[in-house]
Structure 1
Amino acid sequence: MPLEEELSSYAARFAAALIDPGRATPSLVTGPNGKAAVRRYNVYRNNVTVSLIDALAAIYPAVQRITGVEFFRAMARFHVRASPPTSPLLLDYGRDFPAFIETYEYACAMPWLADVARIERAWLDAYHAADAAPLSRDVLALVPPERLADVVFTAHPAAGIVRSPFAAVTIFAANRGGEMPGRIDAGTPEDALITRPGMDVVVRHLPEGGAVFLTNLMSGQPLGDAAASALQSSPGFDIAANVAGMIEAGAFTSINFGEA
């Protein structure tokens, strides 16, 4: 067997039991003089798991603050065993953690927790997104009124939306700051717009109809169609306020008139 294939095979067999403590130490793992290295392998296995739990704690600090460190690390340990990393970049790990939280039995008393985690994941993605100059309100002001409905917007690389039937934005904000949060009515639906128009990531609570409007704009719908959908879903939708808000938030970078 060529050396490259041999090393690849060794790595695959070495890694196979790293996440699962119930699996035996691979027979190929030996110490000095060919002796079994069960203890050494277990130490390494524990270090890998702890590192992945630490990575999740760094990505989801608000979730950890809500649950407490002990609860969070126990939940994260189950996630690590169920979903080992598929990329060498720890930044990419834990994208499915919010979905795991939804299925985690002991978190069922906090049905909003998964959406808070989704906002935190979107926050991190926005932080590492590519730089781009946000759209200036002056550019939109140059569009003739009769053509405004046909305008198509290009989303900023850092822009994202998280919708929730719970007060996920308020809970997120209360648990990412240094102050102790007060009482929150978790049953109030809230939608979030996550952007990074400059150096700092900002999470905004979207007004009525805002999430439908922006989601459609980000998917390439013209302004008129996106506004009509928002009005259909939320009769109180205010198009002027929402356009002003999205420009202020830096959610888009440019405009065009589509293929027409």
Structure 2
Amino acid sequence: MNSQADFASALLSSEAICPAGLCSSNGADPASRFAVYRNNVQSSLINALSAAYPVVAQLVGQTFFNAMARLYVQDFPPRSPLLNDYGQDLADFIQGFAPAAALPYLADVARLERLRVEAYHAADAVPLQPAQLLAAMNQPDHLGQLCLQLHPSLRTLHSRFAVVSLWAAHQSDAAWPAFDLHQSQHALVLRNALDVEVIAVDLGAMTFIDALRNHWPLEVAAAYALDAQAGFDLGQCLGLLLAHGALIDLQPHQKA
């Protein structure tokens, strides 16, 4: 065998190649034993992708998904020993995968499902108590300069398609509610206690949340949100974030 790199490459190859130099302790054919091991490795990675992207698999069917995942596995080996990390760029692969071109929303569904995996494994944090925010709001002279810290699991996604509604429709066997698949949606993803939640929010709320993620103080984040959507309701948005445990701290803005 030439090297570990040759062995690893052969494991993910689309061709049934047995690395040179392999031998079997019991005299069995090394090529046949390696083929079994190779198949197990690729199947394990495909199964991991299927578990991480269940709605994508449902949208295209398991046979199509497995074939697509096998091609992905052969071109994109794992970069981490953690199986949960595998498939981080599957959405980009789908975006350029010609056989899936008839489903232009598929890549964004994959992005949404990846954010759910990330949120599930993100660090934990104690949510901000409503009384703490209420106390800050009772000091209007300082309120605008406060920075609100978001939960480590919080993620956002902007999509040209109704991916939140599409994802939600696959979470039960109930009849799908009516929705326009080609209506853009903004997704808020976070872990609330032990549950990963996916919430559709309007453009103003998404702009506000993204500004908070960029560490802008409250007054600047609210201004960005109002520029994006004239009807942005700051109180309603803060209430949503509090109700879902998305806020964990508030601190005075530190000017550079």
Q: Tell me the amino acid that sits aligned with residue 197 of structure 1.
A: N
> Are the equivalent residues in 2 in contact too, given 1:166–1:189 (CA < 8 A)?
yes
Separation in 2, partners of 1:137, 1:33 = 67
Tell me the equivalent position of 2:147: 152
Deviation (angstroms), 1:192: 0.8
Tell me the equivalent position of 2:32: 39
Separation in 2, partners of 1:244, 1:101 = 36
For the residue of structure 2 that corresponds to 1:201, the secondary structure is strand
Alignment of 1:7-86 (within 5 A): 10-22=3-15, 24-32=17-25, 37-86=30-79
> Are the equivalent residues in 1 in contact too, given 2:203–2:228 (CA < 8 A)?
no
Separation in 1, partners of 2:25, 2:247 = 60
Deviation (angstroms), 1:202: 1.0
Deviation (angstroms), 1:11: 3.0
**How many corresponding residue pairs?**
253
Pair 1:211 & 2:178 matched: no
Deviations 1:35-79 (A, max 9, x none): 752121111111111110000010011111111111111111111
Separation in 1, partners of 2:174, 2:58 = 11
Deviations 1:122-151 (A, max 9, x none): 111111222211112211111111222111
Deviation (angstroms), 1:186: 0.9
Q: Tell me the amino acid that sits aligned with residue 37 of structure 1.
A: P
Separation in 1, partners of 2:127, 2:48 = 31
Separation in 1, partners of 2:214, 2:150 = 9
> Are the equivalent residues in 2 in contact too, given 1:126–1:195 (CA < 8 A)?
yes
Percent identical among aligned pairs is 38
Deviation (angstroms), 1:245: 1.2
Pair 1:190 & 2:185 matched: yes
Q: Cα distance 1:146–1:77, how it changes in 2: closer, same or farther (>3 A)?
A: same
Of 126, 132, 135, 2:128 maps to 135
For the residue of structure 2 that corresponds to 1:194, the secondary structure is strand
Of 85, 90, 103, 1:92 maps to 85
Q: Tell me the amino acid that sits aligned with residue 57 of structure 1.
A: S
Tell me the equivalent position of 2:236: 241
> Are the equivalent residues in 2 in contact too, given 1:53–1:77 (CA < 8 A)?
yes
> Are the equivalent residues in 2 in contact too, given 1:196–1:202 (CA < 8 A)?
yes
Stretch deviating more after TM superposition (53-62 or 126-135):
126-135
Deviations 1:2-34 (A, max 9, x none): xxxx9xx74333212110132631102122477
Of 244, 247, 250, 1:252 maps to 247
Stretch deviating more after TM superposition (233-242 or 43-52):
233-242
Separation in 2, partners of 1:31, 1:77 = 27
Of 108, 114, 122, 2:101 maps to 108
Separation in 1, partners of 2:99, 2:6 = 33
Tell me the equivalent position of 1:170: 165
Separation in 2, partners of 1:152, 1:53 = 42
Separation in 2, partners of 1:41, 1:182 = 49
> Are the equivalent residues in 1 in contact too, given 2:16–2:35 (CA < 8 A)?
no
Stretch deviating more after TM superposition (86-95 or 10-19):
10-19
Deviation (angstroms), 1:185: 1.6
TM-score (norm 2): 0.92
Separation in 1, partners of 2:26, 2:194 = 55
Q: Cα distance 1:158–1:136, how it changes in 2: closer, same or farther (>3 A)?
A: same
> Are the equivalent residues in 2 in contact too, given 1:208–1:236 (CA < 8 A)?
no
Of 161, 176, 197, 1:202 maps to 197
For the residue of structure 2 that corresponds to 1:117, the secondary structure is helix
TM-score (norm 1): 0.91
Deviation (angstroms), 1:207: 2.0
Separation in 1, partners of 2:58, 2:177 = 14
